[in-house]
Structure formats: C-alpha cells, structure tokens
C-alpha cells in the first residue's frame, strides 16, 4: 500500500458530514469517488475529525491508503474533486499514521453575528443569533472553559466516548473581520465585514460539543441563562435537560489539526 497525508478544505453546507453514509452525500464519499477516478485498486480514507452535517473545514487532515503505486499529488486530486472541496497539500506518510489518534490538538472556529438585517451570501457561512448580547457575561463563561473540565452537559448524548472530560488548551471570543479568515479559501463573507469568533483548541471534542457551548453562550448573552447557572452546568452534575439548543452548524469550521512533528 501507498500512504498519503492530505490537508483538505471543504464547504459542508450540502453534505451530511464527513463520514461516509450509504445513499447519503458526504465529504468522505465525494473524496473516495474522486480518488477512484485517478487511482486503480483499493483506496481507503481516514480523517482527523468526523465533522458533522453542515460543518466546514479549512484544514482537515486525511490519510489516504492506496494500492495503486502511481504518484498522487494535490494538483492531480484537485482536478478530480468537486467544486466544494480543495486539496491544499498532499505528501507521503508512514503506514502507522492515524490522523485522529496521533494529533496533539484540533482548533475550531465558530463565526456568528447578532446584527439585525445582515443577509446575503455571507450568511451561508456565518451563523446569526437575533438577540442583543452581553459580551462581558459571555467572556466570563469563555474563561471558565480552559483546562480540564467535564463537558457532560455540553454534548449530544448518544455519541460514543469513554469519558466526557476534555482538556481545552486555548479558548477566546473576539470581534474579527471574516474576510481575512476567508481570504484565498472556498468561503465568502459576503456583506458581513465584522462578526464574533469563538475559538477553541483542545486535544479532543465530544459530539456537537462546540455547538452546544455556543448555544449556551448565546443564552448567557441574551440574559436567559446567568453566568452562575452556566458554571453549574460546567462544574455540576449531569442534567437531563438543558435550556439551550445547539448552534447552527453553518458557523462552525475545523481550522487545523496539529501533530508532533509540527
């Protein structure tokens, strides 16, 4: 077998997530079909993160295993990929490399605005909450997230995980120009020139964890959940019900995956 490490960018708006599902449009399905057009024999792929339905990636890492000894390059793969996908880099790698296991950290960005009336192409890639937000209260909650915490109340129960403890290395909420983030990518900010960015970096994440955190932060911002209540959800016992809804997937991006050699 021949092994490659690819860095992929993709618009997940019209896909059911990364992972292949029979009869469903997925990013992995698109990738595998593209590879089969240019390589003979068996081809398999494995990603660093199984991004969910509607979620995007600026730097997803995928291991490609191929029987065909023909040389594979980013330019060759890009000729076969559909318009919503792009290969940024492709290099040979070792057979034992496992993208989801060997990574040191993953970084996600969630982009949103709460400015009434903003619309257009940018809203395909930036989420919106219609309420005024108390950013100071939200910042107080964001500061709680760094370090090891039990996110038992901030994930979609039913996901597979041995533990709900997660180590968050970095986390912040900032006001950005999304056009800078989207420069030379598949994405467009459209009419949006400024938005909020929730950035989070950690070793691993639970199912829908980032979107649950953003949904809870929005409730804190609009006053329906206090900072103290947020803290109790983070540091307290498992609750059967949570008052927030997980945030819209269109604002979520897997920015990059970091490995030891980097």
DSSP secondary structure string, 211-257? HHHHHHHHHHHTTSS-HHHHHHHHHSPPPS--SS-PPPGGGEEEEEE
**pLDDT at position 123:** 78
Local confidence band at 115 (pLDDT 50, 70, 90 cut-offs): confident
Angle, nearest 10°, between helix axes 227-235 and 209-221? 150
Which tokens belong to 213?
A: 């955190």
CATH of domain 104-258: 3.30.70.660
Stretch 93-121: mean pLDDT: 87
Per residue in 217-256, pLDDT tens?
999 999 999 999 999 999 999 998 999 999 999 999 999 9
Q: Which residues lie below 8 Å from residue 98, measured CB to CB, with a gap of 6+?
A: 46, 63
Looking at residue 116, its pLDDT comes to: 65
At 121 the pLDDT is 47
pLDDT value, residue 183: 97
**How many angstroms from the chain centroid is the CA of residue 140?**
23
Q: What is the mean pLDDT of the chain?
A: 94
Crossing angle for the helix pair 135-144 and 227-235, to the nearest 10 degrees: 20
Percent of the chain with pLDDT over 90: 89
Full-model pTM: 0.95
Comma-separated ranges of CATH 3.30.70.660 domains in the chain:
104-258
CATH 3.30.70.580 residue ranges in the chain? 2-101
- Distance separating alpha carbons of residues 71 and 48, to the nearest angstrom: 23
Concatenate the DSSP letters of all residues of 118-162 into one string.
Answer: --SGGGGTSEE--S---HHHHHHHHHHSSEEEE-TTSS-BTB--S
Residue 144 has pLDDT above 50, yes or no: yes
Per residue in 152-185, pLDDT (tens digit) is 999 997 767 889 999 999 999 999 999 999 999 9
pLDDT above 60 for 36: yes
| Least confident among 63-72, 87-96, 118-127 | 118-127
Q: Which of 41-45, 76-80, 142-146, 187-191 has the lowest mean pLDDT?
A: 187-191
Radius of gyration for the chain, computed over Cα atoms and rounded to the nearest angstrom: 19
CATH number at 2-101: 3.30.70.580
């Amino acid at each position: 077998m021949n092994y490659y490490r690819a860095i992929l960018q993709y618009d997940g708006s019209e896909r059911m997530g990364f992972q292949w599902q029979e009869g469903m449009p997925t990013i992995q399905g698109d990738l595998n079909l593209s590879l089969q057009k240019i390589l003979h024999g068996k081809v398999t792929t494995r990603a660093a993160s199984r991004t969910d339905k509607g979620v995007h990636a600026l730097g997803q890492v995928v291991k490609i295993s191929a029987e065909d000894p023909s040389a594979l390059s980013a330019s060759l793969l890009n000729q076969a990929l559909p318009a919503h996908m792009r290969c940024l880099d492709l290099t040979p790698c070792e057979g034992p490399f496992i993208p989801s296991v060997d990574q040191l950290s993953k970084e996600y960005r969630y982009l949103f605005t709460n400015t009434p009336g903003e619309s257009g192409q940018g809203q395909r890639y930036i989420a919106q909450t219609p309420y005024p937000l108390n950013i100071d209260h939200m910042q107080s909650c964001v500061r709680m997230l760094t370090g090891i915490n039990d996110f038992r109340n901030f994930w979609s129960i039913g996901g597979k995980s041995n533990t709900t403890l997660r180590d968050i290395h970095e986390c912040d909420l900032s006001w950005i120009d999304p056009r800078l983030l989207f420069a030379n990518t598949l994405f467009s900010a459209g009419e949006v020139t400024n938005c909020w960015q929730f950035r989070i970096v950690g070793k691993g994440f639970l199912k829908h964890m980032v979107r649950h955190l953003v949904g809870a932060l929005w409730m804190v911002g609009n006053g329906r959940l206090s900072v103290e209540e947020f803290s109790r959800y983070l540091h307290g016992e498992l609750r059967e019900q949570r008052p927030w809804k997980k945030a819209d997937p269109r604002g979520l991006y897997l920015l990059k995956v970091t490995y030891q050699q980097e």
